[in-house]
Amino acid sequence: MNDFWLALLGMTCITFSCRYLFFSKTVPFELGPKIKRLLSYTAPSVLTAMWVPIVFLGHQQTNSNFITSPFLIAGVATVIFSLKVKNTLAVVMFGMGIFGALKVLF
Amino acid sequence: MSDRTAIAKGSFPSDFKTMNRAIIDIFPLALAVVPWGVLCGSLAINIGLTPLQAQLMSLLVFAGAAQLAALTILGAVGSLSSIYSSTFVISSRHLLYSAVFRDHVRKSSLGLRCSIAFFLTDEMFAVTCAYMEKTKSFSAVYALSSGITFYLIWNISTFAGIIAGQHIPNLEHLGLEFAIAATFIAIVMPTIKNWSTLIAIISSGLSAILFSLFIKEYALIAATFIGMLFGYLTKDKESIDE
Protein backbone atom coordinates (compact mmCIF):
# COMPACT_ATOMS: atom_id res chain seq x y z
CA MET A 1 0.00 0.00 0.00
CA ASN A 2 3.05 2.21 -0.48
CA ASP A 3 1.42 3.28 -3.70
CA PHE A 4 -1.34 4.84 -1.65
CA TRP A 5 0.73 7.85 -0.65
CA LEU A 6 1.80 8.43 -4.23
CA ALA A 7 -1.80 8.08 -5.36
CA LEU A 8 -2.94 10.55 -2.68
CA LEU A 9 -0.25 13.09 -3.52
CA GLY A 10 -0.93 12.85 -7.24
CA MET A 11 -4.68 13.12 -6.81
CA THR A 12 -4.35 16.13 -4.51
CA CYS A 13 -2.18 17.92 -7.07
CA ILE A 14 -4.41 17.00 -10.01
CA THR A 15 -7.71 18.05 -8.41
CA PHE A 16 -6.26 21.29 -7.06
CA SER A 17 -4.60 22.18 -10.38
CA CYS A 18 -7.84 21.73 -12.31
CA ARG A 19 -9.64 24.02 -9.86
CA TYR A 20 -6.88 26.62 -9.69
CA LEU A 21 -5.55 26.78 -13.26
CA PHE A 22 -7.59 29.72 -14.54
CA PHE A 23 -7.24 31.65 -11.28
CA SER A 24 -3.51 31.83 -11.92
CA LYS A 25 -2.17 35.20 -13.08
CA THR A 26 0.41 33.57 -15.30
CA VAL A 27 -2.02 31.59 -17.43
CA PRO A 28 -2.39 33.79 -20.50
CA PHE A 29 -4.93 31.77 -22.46
CA GLU A 30 -8.69 31.53 -22.12
CA LEU A 31 -10.90 28.55 -22.84
CA GLY A 32 -12.52 28.88 -26.26
CA PRO A 33 -16.28 28.40 -26.60
CA LYS A 34 -15.74 24.97 -28.21
CA ILE A 35 -13.64 23.65 -25.34
CA LYS A 36 -16.13 25.09 -22.85
CA ARG A 37 -18.94 23.28 -24.63
CA LEU A 38 -16.97 20.03 -24.66
CA LEU A 39 -16.20 20.35 -20.94
CA SER A 40 -19.84 21.05 -20.12
CA TYR A 41 -20.61 17.43 -20.97
CA THR A 42 -17.95 16.05 -18.60
CA ALA A 43 -20.03 16.05 -15.43
CA PRO A 44 -23.11 14.28 -16.85
CA SER A 45 -20.90 11.81 -18.78
CA VAL A 46 -18.63 10.92 -15.85
CA LEU A 47 -21.47 10.51 -13.39
CA THR A 48 -23.47 8.40 -15.84
CA ALA A 49 -20.45 6.24 -16.59
CA MET A 50 -20.35 5.52 -12.85
CA TRP A 51 -24.01 4.86 -12.07
CA VAL A 52 -25.01 2.88 -15.16
CA PRO A 53 -22.68 -0.10 -14.46
CA ILE A 54 -23.90 -0.25 -10.84
CA VAL A 55 -27.52 -0.40 -11.95
CA PHE A 56 -27.13 -2.68 -14.95
CA LEU A 57 -24.19 -4.86 -13.89
CA GLY A 58 -24.80 -4.85 -10.13
CA HIS A 59 -26.46 -8.28 -10.34
CA GLN A 60 -23.09 -9.84 -11.23
CA GLN A 61 -21.61 -9.38 -7.76
CA THR A 62 -24.56 -10.93 -5.99
CA ASN A 63 -25.07 -13.59 -8.67
CA SER A 64 -28.71 -12.74 -8.91
CA ASN A 65 -30.88 -12.60 -11.98
CA PHE A 66 -30.59 -9.53 -14.18
CA ILE A 67 -34.34 -8.90 -14.17
CA THR A 68 -34.91 -9.43 -10.44
CA SER A 69 -31.73 -7.67 -9.35
CA PRO A 70 -32.45 -5.02 -6.69
CA PHE A 71 -29.82 -2.83 -8.39
CA LEU A 72 -31.77 -2.84 -11.65
CA ILE A 73 -35.27 -2.44 -10.18
CA ALA A 74 -34.31 0.25 -7.67
CA GLY A 75 -32.15 1.98 -10.29
CA VAL A 76 -34.92 2.20 -12.86
CA ALA A 77 -37.38 3.31 -10.17
CA THR A 78 -34.96 6.05 -9.08
CA VAL A 79 -34.56 7.28 -12.66
CA ILE A 80 -38.34 7.50 -13.10
CA PHE A 81 -38.75 9.19 -9.70
CA SER A 82 -36.01 11.71 -10.53
CA LEU A 83 -37.93 12.79 -13.63
CA LYS A 84 -40.86 13.79 -11.41
CA VAL A 85 -39.10 15.12 -8.32
CA LYS A 86 -36.22 17.57 -8.61
CA ASN A 87 -35.12 17.49 -4.96
CA THR A 88 -31.76 15.66 -4.86
CA LEU A 89 -32.06 14.48 -1.28
CA ALA A 90 -35.60 13.16 -1.82
CA VAL A 91 -34.44 11.18 -4.86
CA VAL A 92 -31.50 9.65 -2.97
CA MET A 93 -33.72 8.70 -0.01
CA PHE A 94 -36.33 7.22 -2.35
CA GLY A 95 -33.73 5.14 -4.20
CA MET A 96 -32.11 3.87 -1.00
CA GLY A 97 -35.54 3.05 0.43
CA ILE A 98 -36.55 0.97 -2.58
CA PHE A 99 -33.19 -0.77 -2.68
CA GLY A 100 -33.32 -1.54 1.06
CA ALA A 101 -36.88 -2.86 0.79
CA LEU A 102 -35.95 -5.13 -2.13
CA LYS A 103 -32.93 -6.45 -0.22
CA VAL A 104 -35.15 -7.34 2.73
CA LEU A 105 -37.83 -8.92 0.55
CA PHE A 106 -35.58 -11.08 -1.59
CA MET B 1 -35.47 40.55 1.68
CA SER B 2 -32.59 42.89 2.30
CA ASP B 3 -32.67 46.63 2.05
CA ARG B 4 -28.99 47.15 2.01
CA THR B 5 -27.55 50.59 1.58
CA ALA B 6 -24.31 51.55 -0.08
CA ILE B 7 -22.67 51.95 3.30
CA ALA B 8 -23.75 48.55 4.54
CA LYS B 9 -22.24 46.86 1.51
CA GLY B 10 -19.14 44.91 2.41
CA SER B 11 -19.49 45.64 6.10
CA PHE B 12 -19.70 42.95 8.73
CA PRO B 13 -23.47 42.53 9.08
CA SER B 14 -23.83 42.23 5.32
CA ASP B 15 -21.03 39.64 5.13
CA PHE B 16 -22.72 37.78 7.94
CA LYS B 17 -25.98 37.76 6.01
CA THR B 18 -24.19 36.49 2.91
CA MET B 19 -22.60 33.71 4.96
CA ASN B 20 -25.96 32.70 6.33
CA ARG B 21 -27.49 32.69 2.89
CA ALA B 22 -24.63 30.56 1.54
CA ILE B 23 -24.95 28.00 4.32
CA ILE B 24 -28.73 27.77 3.88
CA ASP B 25 -28.38 27.40 0.11
CA ILE B 26 -25.76 24.66 0.10
CA PHE B 27 -27.16 22.68 3.02
CA PRO B 28 -29.63 20.45 1.12
CA LEU B 29 -26.93 19.67 -1.48
CA ALA B 30 -24.46 18.86 1.28
CA LEU B 31 -26.94 16.52 2.99
CA ALA B 32 -27.47 14.66 -0.26
CA VAL B 33 -23.79 13.67 -0.41
CA VAL B 34 -23.76 12.26 3.13
CA PRO B 35 -24.39 8.65 1.99
CA TRP B 36 -21.68 9.15 -0.58
CA GLY B 37 -19.18 10.41 2.02
CA VAL B 38 -20.05 7.51 4.31
CA LEU B 39 -19.42 5.19 1.38
CA CYS B 40 -16.02 6.78 0.63
CA GLY B 41 -14.97 6.29 4.26
CA SER B 42 -16.20 2.74 4.64
CA LEU B 43 -14.99 1.62 1.22
CA ALA B 44 -11.52 2.96 2.03
CA ILE B 45 -11.43 0.86 5.21
CA ASN B 46 -12.82 -2.07 3.27
CA ILE B 47 -9.97 -2.11 0.74
CA GLY B 48 -7.40 -1.94 3.53
CA LEU B 49 -6.57 1.74 4.02
CA THR B 50 -5.96 2.99 7.55
CA PRO B 51 -8.50 5.43 9.08
CA LEU B 52 -5.91 8.22 8.74
CA GLN B 53 -5.38 7.51 5.04
CA ALA B 54 -9.12 7.36 4.46
CA GLN B 55 -9.73 10.70 6.17
CA LEU B 56 -6.75 12.39 4.50
CA MET B 57 -8.22 11.52 1.14
CA SER B 58 -11.36 13.52 1.91
CA LEU B 59 -9.37 16.29 3.60
CA LEU B 60 -6.91 16.78 0.73
CA VAL B 61 -8.49 15.53 -2.47
CA PHE B 62 -12.06 16.60 -1.61
CA ALA B 63 -13.61 15.26 -4.80
CA GLY B 64 -16.25 12.59 -4.33
CA ALA B 65 -16.39 11.06 -7.79
CA ALA B 66 -12.59 11.03 -8.15
CA GLN B 67 -12.14 9.51 -4.69
CA LEU B 68 -14.67 6.80 -5.33
CA ALA B 69 -13.15 5.93 -8.69
CA ALA B 70 -9.65 5.84 -7.17
CA LEU B 71 -10.80 3.61 -4.30
CA THR B 72 -12.35 1.19 -6.77
CA ILE B 73 -9.10 1.09 -8.76
CA LEU B 74 -6.96 0.76 -5.59
CA GLY B 75 -9.22 -2.07 -4.42
CA ALA B 76 -8.72 -3.89 -7.71
CA VAL B 77 -4.95 -3.25 -7.45
CA GLY B 78 -4.95 -1.07 -10.55
CA SER B 79 -2.00 1.02 -11.66
CA LEU B 80 -1.08 4.51 -10.47
CA SER B 81 -1.40 5.79 -14.01
CA SER B 82 -5.00 4.65 -14.25
CA ILE B 83 -5.73 6.41 -10.94
CA TYR B 84 -4.10 9.62 -12.15
CA SER B 85 -5.77 9.58 -15.54
CA SER B 86 -9.23 8.88 -14.17
CA THR B 87 -8.74 11.61 -11.55
CA PHE B 88 -7.81 14.04 -14.29
CA VAL B 89 -10.72 13.15 -16.53
CA ILE B 90 -13.20 13.33 -13.65
CA SER B 91 -11.73 16.63 -12.39
CA SER B 92 -11.43 18.24 -15.81
CA ARG B 93 -14.93 19.69 -15.43
CA HIS B 94 -13.45 21.92 -12.72
CA LEU B 95 -11.37 23.59 -15.42
CA LEU B 96 -14.65 24.92 -16.74
CA TYR B 97 -15.75 26.23 -13.33
CA SER B 98 -12.35 27.80 -12.82
CA ALA B 99 -12.62 29.52 -16.21
CA VAL B 100 -16.10 30.85 -15.37
CA PHE B 101 -14.97 32.40 -12.07
CA ARG B 102 -11.71 33.64 -13.55
CA ASP B 103 -12.58 37.29 -14.12
CA HIS B 104 -14.11 37.63 -10.67
CA VAL B 105 -11.26 36.03 -8.80
CA ARG B 106 -8.12 36.86 -10.71
CA LYS B 107 -7.35 40.16 -9.01
CA SER B 108 -7.68 38.71 -5.51
CA SER B 109 -4.74 37.78 -3.32
CA LEU B 110 -2.98 34.44 -3.80
CA GLY B 111 -4.41 33.15 -0.53
CA LEU B 112 -7.98 33.95 -1.48
CA ARG B 113 -7.54 32.50 -4.96
CA CYS B 114 -6.10 29.28 -3.54
CA SER B 115 -8.89 29.03 -0.97
CA ILE B 116 -11.67 29.50 -3.51
CA ALA B 117 -9.97 26.98 -5.81
CA PHE B 118 -9.59 24.42 -3.04
CA PHE B 119 -13.27 24.61 -2.06
CA LEU B 120 -14.53 24.65 -5.66
CA THR B 121 -16.94 21.74 -6.16
CA ASP B 122 -19.94 21.06 -8.39
CA GLU B 123 -22.27 22.05 -5.59
CA MET B 124 -20.38 25.20 -4.59
CA PHE B 125 -20.20 26.24 -8.23
CA ALA B 126 -23.93 25.66 -8.69
CA VAL B 127 -25.06 27.74 -5.69
CA THR B 128 -22.48 30.48 -6.24
CA CYS B 129 -23.56 30.87 -9.87
CA ALA B 130 -27.21 31.04 -8.83
CA TYR B 131 -26.34 33.68 -6.22
CA MET B 132 -24.27 35.58 -8.76
CA GLU B 133 -27.21 35.62 -11.15
CA LYS B 134 -29.53 36.89 -8.41
CA THR B 135 -27.30 39.64 -7.04
CA LYS B 136 -25.44 40.43 -10.29
CA SER B 137 -22.09 40.21 -8.52
CA PHE B 138 -19.62 37.53 -7.48
CA SER B 139 -19.23 37.16 -3.73
CA ALA B 140 -16.05 35.58 -2.39
CA VAL B 141 -17.66 35.42 1.06
CA TYR B 142 -20.57 33.47 -0.39
CA ALA B 143 -18.30 31.13 -2.38
CA LEU B 144 -16.07 30.38 0.59
CA SER B 145 -18.90 29.97 3.10
CA SER B 146 -20.78 27.52 0.92
CA GLY B 147 -17.55 25.71 0.01
CA ILE B 148 -16.40 25.34 3.61
CA THR B 149 -19.84 24.19 4.77
CA PHE B 150 -19.75 21.53 2.10
CA TYR B 151 -16.19 20.54 3.06
CA LEU B 152 -17.13 20.09 6.71
CA ILE B 153 -20.15 17.91 5.94
CA TRP B 154 -18.16 15.88 3.43
CA ASN B 155 -15.44 15.17 5.96
CA ILE B 156 -17.82 14.45 8.83
CA SER B 157 -19.65 11.91 6.67
CA THR B 158 -16.35 10.36 5.59
CA PHE B 159 -15.45 10.07 9.28
CA ALA B 160 -18.80 8.41 9.99
CA GLY B 161 -18.07 5.99 7.16
CA ILE B 162 -14.65 5.17 8.60
CA ILE B 163 -16.16 4.40 12.01
CA ALA B 164 -18.94 2.35 10.42
CA GLY B 165 -16.46 0.54 8.16
CA GLN B 166 -14.43 -0.52 11.18
CA HIS B 167 -17.35 -1.77 13.23
CA ILE B 168 -19.87 -3.07 10.74
CA PRO B 169 -18.46 -5.83 8.54
CA ASN B 170 -19.63 -5.98 4.94
CA LEU B 171 -21.21 -2.57 5.13
CA GLU B 172 -21.37 -2.40 1.36
CA HIS B 173 -23.96 -5.17 1.39
CA LEU B 174 -26.33 -2.80 3.16
CA GLY B 175 -26.71 -0.98 -0.11
CA LEU B 176 -24.23 1.84 0.26
CA GLU B 177 -22.94 1.07 -3.19
CA PHE B 178 -26.39 1.72 -4.52
CA ALA B 179 -26.22 5.11 -2.79
CA ILE B 180 -23.66 6.23 -5.39
CA ALA B 181 -26.00 5.23 -8.18
CA ALA B 182 -28.95 7.00 -6.53
CA THR B 183 -26.89 10.14 -5.85
CA PHE B 184 -25.57 10.35 -9.40
CA ILE B 185 -29.00 9.71 -10.91
CA ALA B 186 -30.38 12.51 -8.74
CA ILE B 187 -27.64 14.88 -9.89
CA VAL B 188 -27.63 13.94 -13.57
CA MET B 189 -31.31 13.65 -14.47
CA PRO B 190 -32.24 17.31 -13.81
CA THR B 191 -29.35 18.45 -16.02
CA ILE B 192 -31.02 16.92 -19.09
CA LYS B 193 -32.43 20.08 -20.60
CA ASN B 194 -31.43 19.61 -24.23
CA TRP B 195 -30.80 16.86 -26.76
CA SER B 196 -27.03 17.07 -26.59
CA THR B 197 -26.94 16.35 -22.85
CA LEU B 198 -29.36 13.47 -23.34
CA ILE B 199 -27.17 12.03 -26.11
CA ALA B 200 -24.04 12.50 -23.97
CA ILE B 201 -25.67 10.58 -21.12
CA ILE B 202 -27.01 7.75 -23.24
CA SER B 203 -23.76 7.24 -25.14
CA SER B 204 -21.60 7.36 -22.03
CA GLY B 205 -23.97 4.97 -20.23
CA LEU B 206 -24.06 2.43 -23.03
CA SER B 207 -20.31 2.53 -23.57
CA ALA B 208 -19.74 2.26 -19.80
CA ILE B 209 -21.55 -1.08 -19.82
CA LEU B 210 -19.63 -2.33 -22.84
CA PHE B 211 -16.24 -1.16 -21.59
CA SER B 212 -16.83 -2.50 -18.07
CA LEU B 213 -17.10 -5.96 -19.60
CA PHE B 214 -13.87 -5.63 -21.60
CA ILE B 215 -11.36 -2.98 -20.51
CA LYS B 216 -12.33 -2.56 -16.88
CA GLU B 217 -9.48 -0.32 -15.75
CA TYR B 218 -10.05 2.41 -18.30
CA ALA B 219 -13.79 1.94 -18.76
CA LEU B 220 -14.70 5.11 -16.88
CA ILE B 221 -12.39 7.37 -18.87
CA ALA B 222 -13.26 5.85 -22.23
CA ALA B 223 -17.01 6.09 -21.56
CA THR B 224 -16.67 9.69 -20.36
CA PHE B 225 -14.79 10.70 -23.51
CA ILE B 226 -17.41 9.09 -25.71
CA GLY B 227 -20.21 10.85 -23.82
CA MET B 228 -18.45 14.23 -24.12
CA LEU B 229 -17.73 13.73 -27.80
CA PHE B 230 -21.27 12.64 -28.71
CA GLY B 231 -22.76 15.47 -26.67
CA TYR B 232 -20.46 17.93 -28.38
CA LEU B 233 -21.30 16.63 -31.85
CA THR B 234 -25.06 16.85 -31.24
CA LYS B 235 -26.59 20.08 -32.43
CA ASP B 236 -29.11 21.65 -30.08
CA LYS B 237 -31.87 22.97 -32.28
CA GLU B 238 -34.66 22.71 -29.78
CA SER B 239 -34.76 22.06 -26.09
CA ILE B 240 -36.75 19.22 -24.60
CA ASP B 241 -39.98 20.28 -22.95
CA GLU B 242 -40.42 18.81 -19.54
- Region A61-69: mean pLDDT is 77
Contacts of A84 in chain B (CB under 8 A): none
A11 near B CB under 8 A: yes
Give A-chain residues touching B113 at CB under 8 angstroms.
20, 23-24
Cβ within 8 Å, pair B98-A19 = yes
Q: Which residue has the higher pLDDT, A48 or A30?
A: A48
In the predicted structure, residue A3 carries a pLDDT above the cut 90:
no
Cβ proximity of B185 and A82 under 8 Å: yes
Collect all residues with Cβ–Cβ distance below 8 Å to B69 and sequence separation of at least 6. A50, B86, B87, B90, B220
Question: Nearest by CB to A15, which of B53, B63, B181?
Answer: B63
pLDDT in tens, B2-46: 444 444 444 566 889 999 999 999 998 888 788 889 888 988 998
pLDDT the model gives residue B2: 44
Task: Please give the DSSP secondary-structure letter assigned to residue B106.
Answer: T
Write the residue in B70, B113, B175 that is nearest to A7 by C-beta.
B70
Among B189, B197, B226, pick the best mutation site for testing chain A contact (most A Cβ within 10 A): B189
Q: How far is CA B32 from CA B124, B191, B241, in A?
A: 13, 16, 27
Which residue among B29, B178, B225 sits closest to A74, beta carbon to beta carbon? Answer: B178
Residue with more model confidence, A87 or B155: B155
Reported ipTM: 0.87
pLDDT at B50: 95
Q: Do A96 and B175 touch (CB under 8 A)?
A: yes
Subunit contact B84:A14, Cβ cutoff 8 A: yes
pLDDT of residue A69: 87
Total-model pTM: 0.80
How sure is the predictor about A94, in pLDDT bands with cuts at 50, 70 and 90? very high
Beta-carbon separation of A31 and B95 below 8 A: yes
Residue B132 has pLDDT above 80, yes or no: yes
C-beta atoms of A50 and B185 within 8 A: no
pLDDT at B107 over 50: yes
Q: Please determine, for residue B59, whether its predicted confidence score (pLDDT) is greater than 80.
A: yes
SS3 (DSSP) at B160? helix
A100 to chain B: which residues are within 8 Å by CB? 174-175
Q: Which residue of A has its CA nearest to B197?
A: A41
Looking at residue B171, its pLDDT comes to 66
| A23, A56, A89 member nearest B209 (Cβ) | A56
pLDDT one-digit tens code per residue, A12-29 = 999 999 999 999 988 877
- For every residue of chain B, DSSP letters joined together read -----TTTTTSHHHHHHHHHHHHHHHHHHHHHTHHHHHHHHHHHHHTT--HHHHHHIIIII--HHHHHHHHHHHHTT--HHHHHHHHHHHHTHHHHHHHHHHHHHTTS-HHHHHHHHHT--HHHHHHHHHHHHHHSS--HHHHHHHHHHHHHHHHHHHHHHHHHHHHSTTGGGGTHHHHHHHHHHHHHGGG--BHHHHHHHHHHHHHHHHHHHH-GGGHHHHHHHHHHHHHHHS--SSBPP-
Q: What is the DSSP string of B1-41?
A: -----TTTTTSHHHHHHHHHHHHHHHHHHHHHTHHHHHHHH
- Region A78-104: mean pLDDT is 89
Please tell me if residue A82 touches chain B, with a CB cutoff of 8 Å: yes
pLDDT-based confidence at residue B238 (cuts at 50, 70, 90): low
